[in-house]
Amino acid sequence: MTPRDLIQQNQTALGIEFGSTRIKAVLTDMEGKVLASGSHTWSDNLSDGVWTYSLDQIHSGFQACYQDLKKNVQDQYGIILTGAGSMGVSAMMHGYLPFDEDMNLLVPFRTWRNTITGQAAAELTERFHFNIPQRWSIAHLHQAILNNEPHVPAIHFLTTLAGYAHYLLTGEKVLGIGDAAGMFPIDSTTGSYDKAMIESYDQLLSSRGISWKIEDILPGVLCAGSKAGVLTEKGALVLDPSGDLKSGIPLCPPEGDAGTGMVATNSVLARTGNVSAGTSVFAMIVLEKKLQKLHTEIDMVTTPTGLPVAMVHCNTCTSDLNAWAQLFMDFAKRIGADLDTNSLYQILFNSAMEGKRDCNGLTAFNYYSGEPVTETDAGVPLFTRLPDAPLTLPDFMRTHLYSSLATLSLGMQILTEDEQVTVDKIMGHGGLFKTPVVGQSILASALNAPVTVMDTASEGGAWGMALLALYMNQSQGKDLPDWLNTCIFANMSSSELEPQKEDVEGFKAYLTRYQALLAAEKAAAAAKF
């Protein structure tokens, strides 16, 4: 059948993902090939010291993204999009969305980007003997309790952004296991929240006079392949107020962007890993066994099927790089240069390949917020150079590309050197890899490992979510890795890049200077100005 026929007959899957700067929708055929896409740009706000998105932003962004997809379908195929064979929604993980019994949001959404839960994260890490990062929902909840915030007794439901979006569409209060693992620790053997830690936290709640129990307010946990409700009439109107979108579409469990990234890069087997590089950057390494020690720099989450995953998460990746690119775009416009955004990034990224491998005395910190890996509580973007260092565009751009991956490199050293974790392949995806070779080469140097980028690298998590929606209907007894290998990635083209010795040595030299200057970054972030 033609793509038009497939769309009209609902032989499709729809994935929608709320990223940090863009909400994206992808419509695929039954083999995972992209038929159409839509997007909506949005941004968080720093309000009263808290990074947040308003509920209005969430609702209007959800709708605007779908409307862009609908328009794309009509422009390409001359038909109105009215449904899909299956669908799913994902979003950036973690954060804090507490609701009362009438589903009224009790405090503004506190996103993963906030580093305001240090006391809570430390207490829970000690109590559970398990690393609880500041981003996690349980850390935000516990900090609210420690702060004696008045909304706490009224909490009836706590979820993530993906869980909330899924509730809007289905009325179901559930999460995929990968996203749930960023709320509260998961026991991979049972496929649910860790029972001993649940009981321990309930004792803590009781000691503070709180009447509800933690499991009562957390979403239900579902693994990939499960059915997680259907699109209600009310949910269809959330996306398409015109009424063209019909209810009844089955939805798979909502997942976090880490899980969809693993699916989109076919990195769900042990000894595989992927790096998602966009507004934030994180590496997901599927483990053969548990880590030997507790590392506060490493998160323990799961694949969408529940396998243990070590996650190195860094709050900032390309934000400062993008800011400098906008400065160059402003200059280009002022001199009358006709330059589109894609061409600008290609020029800047390709110039970095001409730079000195150690960046020739230039160093940059891209911190817009704190970074747990380097034990910084707050961030200030900072650029430094030695007095005798020449300031050239190639060295400058290479410095900012290095900066976007430097903190990740430090975190990965804990896994590869301290824990002796073996990784057979690293897959790269996200905006950093849109310009061919450049981001891939820098990442290979930063990790001293071969990096593979697929043709679908720029499709990202929305495509991964569409694949999970497909898997729900097509699994037929196959486990997720087997299904991905045979049904989706068997004929997928990709390119692998080996690290070059001189590039690896150059990055190490840069990282040595970077670590020495961390004191300056911390001082700048702590300064009151």
Q: What is the pLDDT of residue 456?
A: 63
Contact 261, 285 (CB under 8 A): no
Residue 246 to residue 263: CA distance in whole angstroms: 28
pTM value?
0.84
- Residues paired with 230 in a beta bridge: 250
The reply to whether 330 falls in a domain is no
Task: Tell me the CA end-to-end span of the chain in Å, nearest whole number.
Answer: 63
The strand ranges marked E within 323-361 are none
Sign of CA dihedral 430, 401, 319, 336: negative
Q: What is the CATH number of the domain that holds 381?
A: 3.30.420.40
Per-residue pLDDT, 457: 55
Residue 172 lies in a domain: no
Which residue type sits at 457? A
272 lies in a domain? yes
Whole-number pLDDT of residue 458: 56
Q: What are phi and psi of 355, to 5 degrees?
A: -75, 160
Helix, strand, coil percent values for the chain (each to nearest 5)? 40, 20, 40
Domain contains 420: yes
Report pLDDT for 225: 96
Kindly report, residue by residue over 156-175, the tens digit of the pLDDT. 999 999 999 999 999 999 99
In which domain, by residue range, is 524 found? Answer: 267-318+357-453+499-529
Please tell me the total count of domains within the chain: 1
Report pLDDT for 492: 82
Residue 96 falls within a domain, yes or no? no
> What is the per-residue pLDDT for 459?
62
Quick check: is 249 in a domain?
no
Q: Is residue 104 domain-resident?
A: no
pLDDT at position 425, please? 84
* 27 within domain boundaries: no
pLDDT below 50 — which residues of the chain?
Answer: none
